[in-house]
Structure 1
Amino acid sequence: MRHITTHSTPATGLRGIGDTSWQPHGTCHGMDPEDADATFFPLPRDHEAIADAKELCALCPVRRDCLNYALENDLKEGVWGGLTAEEREPWHKGLPRRLDYSRVVAFFNGRDVHLTEAERKVVIDHAYVRGWRPDRLATALQISTKHARDLLRQAANKVFDRDRTLGVPRRKNAKKKAVPAKSSRSATARPAAQQPVTRPVAPASAHAPLGKAA
């Protein structure tokens, strides 16, 4: 089940349909409910009222958040984010394919963002590159650990197929070979000084005379 957060509700870590913490910063915040309904829910052909609503939206610092809220919650009536229901219709149809990298960045910064299908794929790919474990991705996307493990495996296969197509060599964990220590003196080097050669002494003959005289 999805939950809708409000500006008065503390952060719970749940992924919501829309983050409404932007509402107190809107130009329309604090208006009388009847005046707000008359201004932002005009008749389809009341061009003057629509122009007045768009004029207020043009000054709003959270106009983009207002538009996202209307799209995420499938609001098909009224003026939201400076756009009428007819002007938002193409956005509603193309919502699953929308890719807004600012929303992806907001997701990694811990914001409560309702990701589109395209944005969700980008998040999974970046989670794999960042070395996220399945349990962390499962908590962020509110899915099972098994599902998160499968998604990370698919992202890994995608990277492998891309590298193979582009001819990127795979990284090998080459073991370092032991290099024998160099001897202080080369085997072929000639000695600095001529060393005396010792020769074996021939054994004395059994018939040799004893004493000093040979």
Structure 2
Amino acid sequence: MTDDKRINQMREQLPEPTLRRLPWYLAYVRLLLDAGVEYVSSTQIAKEINVDASMIAKDLSFLNIKGKTRIGYEVASLVHELQDFLGFKVGHNAVMIGVGSLGGALIHDSGLANYGLRIVAGFDIRHDVVGTTLCGIPIYDISELDQRLATLNAEIGVIAVPIDHAQEVSDLLVKAGIKALWNFTPFRITAPQDVVIQNTSIYAQLAVMYNRMGKQM
């Protein structure tokens, strides 16, 4: 079995809660790698990121990553395996739809490239931004989406538009051939089943935080 087939098979079997925790582990062991640490135990990881050690060991076992008795996991190998599995080493081109305060901030976030996401163009309707560049990224009129996507080789559309335009923009992206939508609006967009949707509403997260704060008061 090739490495790609093996990784795809593991992805199909991986529970989503585990998938959501793996980037936490990667972020921490990257710090260890930068600090020159060679080995780390699940107990050490658990202490730093507040996740049960047995859960960490179980999560990593889904990737066939096993630590050595009384030594732990080899940090460099763990970073490599997690990056490979999560797809962070493979570059994915994306277009930013809406380059206002949030969209502009995402374009400015050079850290996204460390996780395999390259925003290669922005699209908007405002005359004051269309035709300009932001961090070297060209901003086009949304009416040019079909035409531009043909040469941008982008497969992901990042959506940060006003809520009343969220579905309209999603439909345009799908029609243009985009395979995944990263939605930052609070509107629950819909798309064909073969299009991946990831909703990341900061407003929903605020609501959860405020609610939990209220329960503690």
Fold match (TM-score > 0.5): no
Greater strand content? 2
Greater helix content? 2
> How would you bin the TM-score normalised by the shorter chain?
under 0.3
After TM superposition, the score normalised by the length of structure 2 is 0.27
